[in-house]
Structure 1
Amino acid sequence: MKKVIYFLSLFIITAVSAQKTDEEQLKDIYDAALTKSKAYDWLNYLSNQIGGRLSGSVQAQQAVDYTKLQLDELGLDKVWLQPVMVPKWNRGLPEFAYFESDPGVTTNVPICALGGSVATPLGGLKANVVEVKSLDDLAILGKQRLEGRIVFFNRPMDPTNISTFDAYSGCVDQRYAGAAEAAKYGAVGIIVRSMNLRLDDLPHTGTMSYGDLAINKRIPAAAISTNAADLLSLSLRLNPDISFYFKQNCEQFDDVQSYNVIGEIKGTTTPEEIMVVGGHLDSWDLGDGSHDDGAGCVQSMEVLHLLKESGYKPKRTIRVVLFMNEENGLRGGNKYAEVAKSKKEKHVFALESDSGGFTPRGFSFDCSEENFIQVQSWKPLFEPYLIHMFVKGHSGADIGPLKDDQMVLAGLRPDSQRYFDHHHAANDTFEHVNKRELELGAASMASLIYLFDKYGVIAAK
């Protein structure tokens, strides 16, 4: 009997001593990310073999098929596709534009149609142009000044705002609602300064909305590059009678079926509690969507790979979700939340990566004060990896519909200073993603998932 007790005690001591400390677990995660990561190769395929992944496109379906295959090969406990109906918009032939300062004297400028815009008439659209800085300017100018004209929205991102996402939020209303508002005053079209802090010749697309405007009253909307916007603005000061011509061939089709791609590792002790990590699989079509949001997708897939590589057995179910249609509808995020609610699934934590594949700086959290205090207690664990920013704030668009009082929502926060140089533009391409930065981001995400899985979410009082 004494021998049995001795060997049992020895087994327990050995098992306890074999458990990793948090420092050791994070070190194993980061080491695996920097030596065994699959994320960069996955992104290479998504970007260079498939390319831009507009919702409803052939490329979007190819991305669904590819990522499901890769998740299957990771040996997860379950991988499946979740059907979702998504909008289908096609850009058509490349856009063309110029402004005319005197009869026959024209200057070509780079533009691109905004996502969801209607086409111009078959022969293009030409009219005098009126520059404004805000939606409020439309009411000041009124129908008398705007009817029959093209409205040029030229409010730039604020370069003094260190948070580039705040700078973006400060001017994106003109892109999203500009056409709907200008049409109310009889405008025949709009052009919008690209949401970009850099001066360059690349127009940046993005979604726009006509609200409840009747189809026959909708006007074409396009983005103009920052260099061209400055040139047009200067030219208008010298000659207010400038006319602007543009032609675009976009078309809106009926909704089509697509899918969220989902895979999971089943929890060992409380599998009914679900933790989500994800990004959005769709992208705009001008580039290949490497930063927005191919990077977030492969980082999220990599989280599950890293947990398996480091030998960690999660208590809770860890689920990766690659959402479809974030860019122009959020249908994937809404569908996932709808199905989760209908099945009465218990989600306790969700993490999203949708801010590019740049060097990770930390996380933002949408959570209770008690959970935020817990997060701050983990800061010393991240300091060796130069992760220092733990703030309250927005988590992510796709996980937002999951929110309730009991959940913690989080967003990876990479360095954002270069993000809007590429956002929704033709240079959002694979060569602008750094392999090591991408891997560090995935390791940071996996580390946060590990800590929340080990220590749990503090329930609201």
Structure 2
Amino acid sequence: MKITLSFSLAVLSTTLLAQSPDSVAIRSLFNETLTNGKSYEWLRQLTKQVGPRLSGSPGAQKAVEWAKQTMEKEGFDRVFLQEVMVPHWERGPKEEAYIRTGKRKLTVPIAALGGSVATPPKGIEAGVVEVKNVKELEALGADKIKGKIVFFNRPMDPTKLNTFEAYGGAVDQRANGATFAAKFGAVGAIIRSMTTAQDDNPHTGSMRYGAGVPLIPTAAISTNGANELSRLLSEDPNLTFYFKQNCQSLPDAKSYNVVGEIKGSEKPDEIIVVGGHLDSWDLAEGAHDDGAGCVQSIEVLRMMKALGIKPKRTIRAVMFMNEENGLRGGIGYADYAKKNSEKHIAAVESDNGGFTPRGFGVVGTSEQKAKVSQWKSLLAPYGLHEIGPGGGGADIGPLAQSGTVLFGFKPDSQRYFDYHHTGIDRFEAVNKRELDLGAASMAAIVYLVDQYGL
């Protein structure tokens, strides 16, 4: 027994001596948030006390006040608001929709797309033309489309292991479907929800109208509803679809990015940003999209203060406003940085949900990516194996023009689009431990960039 104990102590001693200061620091970041983390409680406050926070809404302003007060309570060196003008779109009373076939009327779940116009007060009822893409729409031509509702029913590709690739392959119909449908005389557009899940939750999201075409009302239909509509069309091509929505666009509203920072001890003029977007769609609480990213970003700075880590460079947590339907916050922040001649060496964004961490997508030069790759052995023990080329993030994207290296936090993607832009994106959908692990992962990459630059 004594020999075994002595051997175990010797192995432990050797292991501790072999650990680098960086591995010890990263381990301390994970230990801190897993034992004392505040992300989950902050997320509860943001979702339950503030709630939905679409740009221009009272909820968005309440979120700004919450973020500012939260960072001030943590004693960051500086907390400030950066003004931005944002779109103001309101959904109005809940939408209505049904399929009429023969003497039957079947109610289906829909949600107006952000930026859409309303239907006439009594709604619209018309025949339906189903297409998978614009090429099919063009092949039909105006003769078969004029006066109809165009039903875009191209699903996300379920064979894509990365669900963000599947989303990217289908979302063009949501963004531009109304424009193409209107060119051929359609009176409305219905879009299959952007998810691989088969359920009754319609997924909203932004859309836009092209120049010179009529503005036709556009809504997302749940995947179950889309399947039913497609099935019934095959049985009765003369069926009609009715929908009513009451949305409107109002004048732009004043809002803010919320910024908190810890000043750098050696190179304070070099800035590392970590952030998420404070706004959310109005259907629910915006827990995964993107309450998770916001609270994780604040937690990165809190951890550093709690552990007495004095960064060499200035670390900023930025709560961006208006990612969902305009990107005014991200563009405004990049303009602010340029106007003030600020040097942002790196930016980290969390906007893919609060799920189990997998790694980071990196946008930069080949030399910068090679340097980040040298850190893989430090990050691998925490499940961060996917370190390499990839997207940074919508809000930090505008910073790339000034040479900033972008890091997009990559959690597991399989469940994200179950919740994305829906009424079920609530606090209860987020796992505390996964959320905390994400915050620590972001802190680890910020720590390494701060120590060694890029």
Scaled by the length of structure 1, the TM-score of the pair is: 0.93
Confirm or deny that 1:249 pairs with 2:246: yes
The aligned counterpart of 2:288 is 291
Match for residue 229 of structure 2 among 229, 232, 235: 232
Quick one: percent identity of the two aligned structures?
A: 57
Deviation at 1:275, TM superposition (A): 0.7
Question: Counterpart of 1:197 in structure 2: which amino acid?
Answer: T
Deviation at 1:20, TM superposition (A): 7.4
CA distance, structure 2, for counterparts of residue 213 and residue 329 of structure 1:
20
The aligned counterpart of 1:212 is 211
Whether the 8 Å contact between 2:119 and 2:246 is mirrored in structure 1 is yes
CA distance, structure 1, for counterparts of residue 425 and residue 403 of structure 2:
36
Whether the 8 Å contact between 1:111 and 1:223 is mirrored in structure 2 is yes
The aligned counterpart of 1:345 is 342
Please identify runs of 4+ aligned residues in structure 1 that moved more than 3 A: none
Whether the 8 Å contact between 1:129 and 1:242 is mirrored in structure 2 is yes
Structure 2 counterparts to residues 35-184 of structure 1, below 5 A = 35-102=35-102, 104-184=103-183
The aligned counterpart of 1:315 is 312
The aligned counterpart of 2:13 is none
CA distance, structure 2, for counterparts of residue 25 and residue 402 of structure 1:
28
Deviation at 1:49, TM superposition (A): 1.1
Structure 2 counterparts to residues 251-400 of structure 1, below 5 A = 251-400=248-397
CA distance, structure 2, for counterparts of residue 318 and residue 101 of structure 1:
60
Deviation at 1:391, TM superposition (A): 2.0
Deviation at 1:405, TM superposition (A): 6.5
SS of equivalent residue, structure 1 residue 201: coil
Query: What is the CA deviation profile of residues 108-133 of structure 1, one whole-angstrom value per residue up to 9, with x for unaligned ones?
Result: 10001000100000000000000000
C-alpha RMSD of matched pairs (Å): 1.2
CA distance, structure 2, for counterparts of residue 407 and residue 338 of structure 1:
13
SS of equivalent residue, structure 2 residue 237: coil
Q: Which blocks of at least 5 consecutive residues in structure 2 are unaligned? A: 1-16
The aligned counterpart of 1:31 is 31
CA distance, structure 2, for counterparts of residue 268 and residue 208 of structure 1:
45
Query: What is the CA deviation profile of residues 369-392 of structure 1, one whole-angstrom value per residue up to 9, with x for unaligned ones?
Result: 112111111111112212111120
SS of equivalent residue, structure 1 residue 187: coil
Query: What is the CA deviation profile of residues 21-52 of structure 1, one whole-angstrom value per residue up to 9, with x for unaligned ones?
Result: 00110011000010111111110011111111
CA distance, structure 2, for counterparts of residue 206 and residue 303 of structure 1:
29
Deviation at 1:283, TM superposition (A): 0.4
Deviation at 1:407, TM superposition (A): 2.3
Whether the 8 Å contact between 2:373 and 2:388 is mirrored in structure 1 is no
Aligned pair count?
437
The aligned counterpart of 1:8 is none
Question: Counterpart of 1:22 in structure 2: which amino acid?
Answer: D
CA distance, structure 2, for counterparts of residue 182 and residue 166 of structure 1:
25
CA distance, structure 2, for counterparts of residue 245 and residue 277 of structure 1:
45
CA distance, structure 1, for counterparts of residue 402 and residue 91 of structure 2:
41
